[in-house]
Structure 1
Amino acid sequence: MPRPPAADAAALRRVRGGGGTVDKSTAIRRTDLPGGLRVVTEHIPHVHSASVGVWVNVGSRDEGRSVAGAAHFLEHLLFKATPTRTAVQIAQAVDAVGGELNAFTSREHTCYYAHVLDSDLALAVDLVADVVLRGQCFADDVEIERDVVLEEIAMRDDDPEDTLGDVFLSAMFGDHPVGRPVIGSVDSISAMTRTQLHSFHLRRYTPDRMVVAVAGNIDHREVVALVREHFGPRLVRGRSPVPPRKGAGRVPGRPTLQLVKRDAEQTHLSLGVRTPGRHWEERWALSVLNTALGGGLSSRLFQQIRETRGLAYSVYSTVDTFADSGALSIYAGCLPERFDEVVRVTTDVLAEVARDGITDEECRIAKGSLRGGLVLGLEDSASRMNRLGRSELNYGQHRTIAETLARIDEVTLDDVNAVARQLLTRPFGAAVLGPVRNRRSLPRPLQTIAG
């Protein structure tokens, strides 16, 4: 695919005031408000919906050890009451228009969002702003949501893949903040106080850490006016937006092996290597490598483990990226008697790709898969809103879809294979969950990983 026109490729011009920054090629507009609050919108004329998200540049990696899980706990708590609405009234308001109101917490940010008909945009902004800015931390509600979060931890523990995901990141990053579960632990949630949660809200939820992202059949000026109305007294001059995270430098230590012994019908494996963070220039080549390894039905791991040998139903690879680090990982779940062979085939594939690289055909298919997945994944206003919020918090800029497609297309086979040689020769980390006895009972490739 050729490079996008110069108008597409140019960086967005920043304009202060209600009109905002304009990118005519994609209808993305951006306005900086007093206090460091940013409003980013994308007009999608062919839809009848609007998605509103308030993104806060705060996640589980910003917590002290004594309040592990506070960002997620607070996300639950803010929906319980505001000065003008009870939890029931909040729910009724969104149900009455057939909308959705929810939130999620990650390691580096929290998002509160609403998805409604475009005619209900004003209500969506009102509800999300009310919850984020004025959600109450009443003591009785803290106790109710404490039980809910503990139930969520129990539900996580009952899901082998979810449990393994948290254990794997702990194996990869150890005591580094991104290695800790977003949800916290039974001990930390049980001990957390109303004062700690209220203080976390007051100190962390400031306009300079926030982005209001809105996508759908909306008008940028109307959105800015609504945000001004509902953020009101918070828009105090003198603060600039908090810049995107750059990370705290190199993650100390080496990846390790962690075991979770559990009676189960399957043994579950996550195996991977550390990668640079999301600002790495070679991240596009890494995406192609990940897709070729385990990102689709034609990927090498899927073909070798499932299609050719029938060793597992589920096998795939994925990339988690943070500001300062990341992980390329492979997941497989299989019957315990097949586990040794799954490990052998997986490590053989990784060693082969590290040595010989992927083929030109694998590279071509992986790039096509990424291009199609990107475009198809942005067919609705909610996905566009998510893209706006993440781009603003993570990079402080917005690429057009044409620019992103061009970056994927520019990746060469040599680029991908250079990344494979660099990453797949690094020390592996792994997590294993299932009926395993001890390290000595594991396949030899896993025994060599530090424990």
Structure 2
Amino acid sequence: MSMRAWGGGWRRCAMALGLALGMVGWPMAVSAASKPAVGLTLVQQVEGIREYRLPNGLQVLLIPDQSKPTTTVNVTYRVGSVHENYGETGMAHLLEHLIFKGSPRHPQVWAEFNKRGLSANGSTWLDRTNYFASFAANEANLAWYLGWQADAMVNSFIARRDLDSEMTVVRNEMEMGENNPGRILLGKTLATMYQWHNYGKSTIGARTDVEGVDIARLQAFYRRYYQPDNATLIVSGQFDLAKVQRWIARDFGAIPKPRRTLPTQYTLDPAQDGEREVTLRRVGGVPLLYAGYHTVAGAHKDHAAIELLSLILADTPSGRLHQRLTEQRLAAGVFGFTEGLRDPGFLLLGAQLAPEQDAEQARRVLLETIESFRSEPITAAELERARAKWLKDWDQGFADPQHVGVALSEAVAQGDWRLFFLTRDRVRAVTLADVQRVAQAYLLPSNRTLGRYVPTQAPERAPAPERVDLAQALKEFKPAQAAAEVAAFDTSPEHIDASTQLSRLPVGLQLALLPKPTRSQVVQGRLVLRHGTVESLAGQGEADAALAAMLDKGTQQRSRQAWQDRLDALQADVGFGAAAGQLSVAFTARRDTLAEVLGLIAEALRTPALSQAALDEVRDQALSSIAAQRKEPQHVLMEALARRDNPYPRGDVRHARSFDEQVQDWQALTLAQVQAFHERFLSARVGQLSLVGDFEPVQARAVIERQFGNWLGAATAQAPIPDPYVALTPGMIKLNTPDKQNATLVWQLALPINDRHPDYAALMMANHLLGSGGNSRLWNRLREKEGLSYSVYSAVDWSSRDANTRWFASAIFAPQNQPRIEQAMREELARALADGFTQAELDQGRAGLLSFRKLGRAQDARLAGAWAALMDLGRRFDESSKLDKALSELTLEQVNAALRRYLQPDRMVWGWAGDFSRP
């Protein structure tokens, strides 16, 4: 589910499930394929985006892109929490929930979504609300979804009965945010910053406002803002342009142009005239420091400088805060972000501390660093490094049609979708003098909220807030040339197998090279190095995790900064990870940079710097993370469940360690141990490297062989770590986590099967119908019908080698609802076991599950990861085709028999964690 950085009360509501829909049979308008459909007027074309208008005022943006067989539809309404009046906080967010409760024409939205296999979200933010879905390109689904969006715009129930049933869900969402001290502190910081403007009000709203909302006022809010002249429809990805124009004209064109006049938003906070401070005291977590500063609107010319200042200060490893806090071990980590909003927004910077670090010293250095630009001006190197990173991220996002289709919502909310491009151009053009001027103007003690009041005889204030003349601002905008269209790619398993070149280097490394057209010539890669045995890996503690975390912190040839700078210049991303017996690298490059990116990866893997300073930083961050987890219900419960019935001794890689044992391992780890682990275990003898995207296979193989072909390492034996079946002792675990308003349930069962078992497809489908689909039994009972949980699902963690698979179910809820949650889950499982599923459930679930699987094969990064795993198992993508066939041929008797054979309640473990001391 999507969420803002602060989530919870300061989050975008994300009602995300895999969904999909059927086609609406309205009459189609007739128009020539070469012209917009009747009623649609072409306004302009900018960098591959076509803007149209309907007579009723609806703005339409069409972004055809044949490079990936997926389609994204996004409807953005220019209404968010900023439009709520006194007593109405949370109304925009609550309305988002109720839209999914349906209309007379579509009474069961989630069931219809799931039947077609769409991946859909709704989100509410300060200036806007949007509803979007991505799915494997399918004209019937696209036509249906456009029809549903048009219907939802003006015909949704927004009924008292739905408001009552959804209220517990919204409360549970609030409680989920209340468990996180960082989110709560951020909400209080912004509330202290904004004394009059609604940016200081939580998007999810005040509990009393949400619980006391008047249905008539909510319906009036809906009728006022959910209208075509207040909305932008965006369609991106693979679709037939002429057909989509006709469908839009048919479905949305039938909506009358509203006669009402929207209220004008005019409130602005005055310039802040003194330091402010807010302190939060709660149980659990680790020390945090936030420093917030008022800035400019997203459309303001100085917003580009604010974006770069955020990186100059908070980026890792180049940022000033990282160098002066993290590297000096005054903080475990630093962060920062800025919000581009319609009205003047904010820049927020902060630090997370390990438990033993001095909060006051960190606070002093944090503020001194942020507010030091007059005495320590920005350097040209700092500016260019930040610019390269920002532009790299922008270019990577623009290369993804799914990302563009949703990201334009933010520019729409700022006032004009073209700001998406204008901000990019301003970042390219901003000068050192501009950034220095903006830093000096806004990063002032008197403009800071951390916040202690200090009387000052001659206060220095930031510039007064001002609105932006969009017409004047956009005069400087000159659109770049649109990217060339890319041919479509067939993502069937048969075509993926036929298009992939499989081979092996003499050293042992397996290769899967899948060349395919992509927008902006992007290449996704995955490298997995497998090492050691269960015996040789014993007693290594956190050496593997530390090594993976240290690989991006410099090599013997380059400093950490130089290595990262080169990646940014190449517009590439590289991430390292570790698990027992394997080290993985996920990376993104482009056709013309792939060779050098592979070289940088080889340099980091083969000749890492592995310094004491890097180990100290990694250790501090790990200890800080463990300290934060100790009081969180989910982490406390998962620790207890992992240790239950675990038969392996301390030191074995399969041993489930307690929080204390994790701390001990990190504290005992030495640099010599990490260096020895690297020398002993890493090589290219056993592993897989996969590439998916726009590249030339012969050249790529030559580069791979040059970089990795002679990496023999220490020739340590390697074998998969055995993980045999261990039965779980049935029973109940109930753990108390004080002062946590959201509780967690995990329901678990061990099964002696794997993904080669004859019941693989049947049990997968049974679980989908029980708890993983958007129309599942558990979802409908706990989320839709009784409103007890914001998130409830079940899943199967399939093993691919040992006959040792885990089934589990999970839910979050208010602690006082624990008896009702348990009763509902027991009843739903008992009903499924006794009565079985229906043929209608199977038919709908099968269609949705197959559509989800098709959508997954359209994601290049997932394809790269899948090939790495398949090569290790000696398999190909025809396995996916076989599973699709098995799912297609399942009978109702097979599905019900698998459910009854494996999901036996008397063999399950129930785990609960939360504050159950309250009435």
Q: Find out whether 1:360 has 2:380 as its counterpart.
A: yes
Shift of residue 409, structure 1, vs aligned partner: 2.1
Asked if residue 381 in structure 1 is aligned to residue 386 in structure 2, the reply is: no
- Rounded to whole Å, the distance in 1 between the matches of 2:258 and 2:297 is 33
Aligned CA distance change for structure 1 residues 257 and 100 (closer, same or farther; 3 Å): same
Contact 2:143/2:247, CA 8 A, preserved across alignment = yes
Secondary structure in 2 matching 1:67: coil
- Could you tell me which of 37, 41, 60 is aligned with 1:39? 60
How much does 1:19 deviate?
5.7
Residue 416 of structure 2 corresponds to residue 396 of structure 1:
yes
The alignment status of 1:18 with 2:18, answered yes or no, reads no
C-alpha separation between the residues in 2 aligned to 1:46 and 1:449? 58
Which SS does the other structure have where 1:234 is aligned? coil
1:166 CA displacement: 1.4
CA distance in 2, matches of 1:426, 1:129: 49
2:363 matched to which residue of 1? 343
Kept in 1: contact 2:103–2:156 (CA 8 A): yes
Partner of 2:551: none
Equivalent pairs, count: 416
- Of residues 277, 294, 299 in structure 1, which corresponds to 2:319? 299
What's 1:418 paired with? 437
SS of aligned partner of 2:446: coil
Quote how far apart the aligned CAs of 1:123 are: 2.4
Corresponding residue for residue 94 of structure 2: 73
CA contact (8 A) 1:176 1:251 kept: no
C-alpha distance after superposition, 1:230-253 (max 9, x if no partner):
22442338899x79x885445466
The answer to whether the Cα contact below 8 Å between 1:39 and 1:224 also exists between their aligned partners in 2 is no
2:88 partner letter: V
1:130 and 1:189 map into 2 onto residues whose CA distance is 26
Deviation at 1:47, TM superposition (A): 1.4
Q: Which amino acid aligns with 2:82?
A: R
| 8 A contact 1:20–1:31 mirrored in 2 | yes
Q: Give 1:107's aligned residue.
A: 126
Aligned-partner Cα distance in 2 for 1:405–1:237? 35
Residues 251 and 124 from structure 1, CA distance in 2 versus in 1: closer, same or farther, beyond 3 angstroms?
A: farther
* Displacement after TM superposition at 1:35 (Å): 1.7
**What's the counterpart of residue 843 of structure 2?**
none
Residue in structure 1 matching 2:190, options 151, 157, 169:
169
Which of 24, 28, 31 is 2:49 aligned to?
Answer: 28
Check 1:130–1:102 CA distance in 2 against 1; reply closer, same or farther (3 A cut): farther
Question: Alpha-carbon deviation of 1:17?
Answer: 5.0
2:275 counterpart of 1:275: no
CA distance in 2, matches of 1:199, 1:409: 44
1:279 Cα deviation after fit: 2.4
In the other structure, the counterpart of 1:55 is 76
Correspondence list, 1:71-150, <5 A: 71-87=92-108, 90-119=109-138, 120-150=141-171
Partner AA of 1:66 in structure 2: G
* Contact residue 60 and residue 108 of structure 1 kept, 8 A: yes
Moved more, 58-67 or 290-299: 290-299
Matches within 5 A, 1:198-213: 198-213=219-234
Deviation per CA, 1:113-152: give whole Å up to 9, x if none: 1111221321221233333332212222101211111111
TM-score calculated relative to the size of structure 1: 0.85
SS in structure 2 of the partner of residue 125 of structure 1:
helix
Note if 1:288 corresponds to 2:308: yes
Higher RCO, 1 or 2 (CA under 8 Å, sep at least 6)? 1
Q: Is the 8 A contact 1:53 1:128 kept in 2?
A: no
* Distance in 1 between residues matched to 2:363 and 2:61, nearest whole Å: 46
When residues 86 and 238 of structure 1 are mapped into structure 2, their CA distance, relative to the original with a 3 A threshold, is closer
* Higher radius of gyration, 1 or 2: 2
Check whether the contact 1:35–1:208 (CA below 8 A) recurs between aligned residues.
yes
The residue number in structure 2 matching 1:447 is 452
Contact 1:36/1:239 (<8 A) preserved: no
Call closer, same or farther: CA 1:57–1:405 in 2, change over 3 Å.
Answer: closer
> How far apart, in 2, do the equivalents of 1:179 and 1:426 lie?
20
List per-residue Cα deviations over 1:252-297 (Å, max 9, x = no partner): 6656322222122412221121112122211112211111111343
Unaligned runs of 5+ in 1: 1-13, 432-445
User: What is the distance in 1 between the residues matched to 2:423 and 2:130?
Assistant: 24
User: Which segment drifts farther, 177-186 or 199-208?
Assistant: 199-208
SS in 2 for 1:58: coil
Among 330, 353, 358, the residue aligned to 2:349 = 330
Residues 286-324 of structure 1: CA deviation (Å, up to 9, x unaligned): 211111111343211122211x22233331111123222
Separation in structure 2 between the aligned mates of residue 106 and residue 225 of structure 1, nearest angstrom: 31
Kindly indicate whether the alpha-carbon contact (under 8 Å) linking 2:298 and 2:339 is maintained by their aligned counterparts in 1: no
Residue aligning to 2:28? none
Preserved CA contact (<8 Å) 2:106 2:148: no
In structure 2, what residue type is equivalent to 1:311? Answer: L
**CA distance, structure 2, for counterparts of residue 284 and residue 247 of structure 1:** 24
1:275–1:327: 8 Å Cα contact kept in structure 2? yes
Going from structure 1 to structure 2, the CA distance change for 1:133 and 1:312 (only over 3 Å counts) comes to: farther
CA–CA separation in structure 2 for the residues paired with 1:110 and 1:405 = 24
CA contact (8 A) 1:171 1:429 kept: no
SS at match of 1:211: strand
Provide the aligned C-alpha RMSD in A: 2.7
Partner Cα distance (1:271, 1:330) in 2: 5
Bigger drift between 187-196 and 385-394 goes to 385-394
